Amino acid sequence: MNWDITTFCVLADPRETRRIDTYLAGIFPHSSRSYMQKLIEEECISVNGQTFTKNKKIYRWDLIEIRWKVEKMHIEAEDMPLEIVFENDDFAIINKDPWVNTHPTPWEDGKSGTLVNALLHHFKDLSIINWVERPGIVHRLDKNTSGLIIIAKNDRSMHAIQLKIAKRTIQKTYLALVVWIVKDEEWYIESYIWRDPKDRKRMTAIDPINPKLAQTKFKKIKEVHGKYTLLEVDLLTGRTHQIRVHLSSIGFPILWDQVYWWEKANKEALALFGLNRQWLHAWRLRFNLFGKDYSFEGMLKKDIAQIIENQA
């Protein structure tokens, strides 16, 4: 059996107490409360260095350690379409299609049809520093988000790129089409976001579990069809669903976002344009690696490009 260890400090409101199984299920949405209880019973979770029973309450500044059981999956190489924007001996830049998971998962029959399956077919000997199931993967995009993603081709580049991500020295710029007309030309949002205590599959800026700082810059590009606004978005931090949560929090949800959505606009976009996924694209990457500057832009995928074509 292999183990993956996660250690973190609780940052919940000090006036609140929560059962640890409920709290952890909120932080890790793909692990149910019953699964967390099983890990507790098997003494795979400790708080401040001690094991406990499943009804234990946790408090702010408690140090939690989880020892996850990792069962290696057998991942098959698959001959799938792969838009390679750039590659050298150290890394590759892929313009990911929508509806493709970045890496295999143990749920939703997620062992095939992923970006990793395609990478194993197109490249050889990718770095597996993270997990065997995620060769070359140093960051990810949501399944329904298209755009640029960096693939590390060896351990040297994997270490270097991970360090740059941790230090936030890789500039990530997205394009997003939002519902309603935005009047401001440029603005900035800074807030604390993380899991929604009422819905563990959502992120929120309102009383999040274990809040993390999120910073995003926005710039208006143009108005589209008199009812949408195309934005350029600079991601200054890399929180899950960060752009989607920030835009929704100020009343401009991304078109066809099914989690932070405006249902009427989504139905209209489906009828008018056939759009059935969030209009969000990882458009540009800029970074320096091993003393050389790189800048890449990924073309929009056809399903979202056709909505803004021929617009003033």
Query: Which pTM does this prediction carry?
Result: 0.82
Give the orientation angle of helix 20-27 with respect to helix 33-41, to 10 degrees: 120
**Do residue 52 and residue 91 come from a single domain?**
no
Which of 111, 144, 167 is the last residue in one of the domains?
167
- What backbone torsions phi and psi does residue 163 show, to the nearest 5 degrees? -65, -40
Q: CA-CA distance, 291 to 168, in Å (whole number)? A: 17
The per-residue pLDDT for 14 is 46
The per-residue pLDDT for 201 is 80
Q: Are 219 and 235 in contact (CB under 8 A)?
A: no
**Do residue 178 and residue 275 come from a single domain?**
yes
**Do residue 63 and residue 38 come from a single domain?**
yes
State the distance between the two ends of the chain, measured CA to CA, in whole angstroms.
59
CA atoms 69, 74, 79, 85: torsion sign: positive
Q: Are 308 and 177 in contact (CB under 8 A)?
A: yes
The per-residue pLDDT for 209 is 81
Q: Are 160 and 211 in contact (CB under 8 A)?
A: no
**Do residue 12 and residue 84 come from a single domain?**
no
In a domain, 306, yes or no: no
Average pLDDT on 64-74 reads 76
Question: Would residue 207 show up in a list of annotated catalytic residues for this protein?
Answer: no
Burial of 68 (C-beta count, 10 Å sphere; 0-12/13-18/19+): middle
Q: How far is CA 236 from each of CA 76, 141, 168, 172, 210, rounded to the nearest angstrom? A: 35, 15, 7, 8, 19
**Do residue 36 and residue 133 come from a single domain?**
no
Q: How far is CA 46 from each of CA 34, 117, 233, rounded to the nearest angstrom? A: 17, 35, 39
Q: CA-CA distance, 303 to 277, in Å (whole number)? A: 9
Which of 70, 98, 128 is the last residue in one of the domains?
70
In a domain, 307, yes or no: no
**Do residue 57 and residue 124 come from a single domain?**
no
In a domain, 262, yes or no: yes
Indicate which CATH number applies to the domain containing 43: 3.10.290.10
Indicate which CATH number applies to the domain containing 110: 3.30.2350.10
**Do residue 205 and residue 248 come from a single domain?**
yes
Q: CA-CA distance, 284 to 297, in Å (whole number)? A: 4
Residue type, 217: K
The per-residue pLDDT for 71 is 61
In a domain, 292, yes or no: no
Residue type, 164: K
Q: Are 135 and 126 in contact (CB under 8 A)?
A: yes
Q: Which is it for strands 146-152 and 91-96: parallel, antiparallel or unpaired?
A: antiparallel
- Which uninterrupted H or E stretch holds 275? none
**Do residue 98 and residue 185 come from a single domain?**
no
Number of domains composing the chain: 3
Would you place residue 28 in the very low, low, confident or very high pLDDT band (cuts 50, 70, 90)? confident
Q: CA-CA distance, 211 to 3, in Å (whole number)? A: 26
In a domain, 49, yes or no: yes
Kindly give, in sequence order, each residue whose CB lies less than 8 Å from that of residue 38, ignoring residues fewer than 6 positions away: none
In a domain, 297, yes or no: no
From the candidates 90, 142, 196, 257, give the one annotated as an active-site residue.
142
pLDDT digits (tens, 9 = 90+) for 230-280: 999 999 999 999 999 999 999 999 999 999 988 999 999 999 999 999 999
pLDDT at 129 > cutoff 70: no
SS3 145: coil
- Residues β-bridged to residue 281: 146, 175
Query: Which domain covers residue 251, as residue numbers?
Result: 174-283
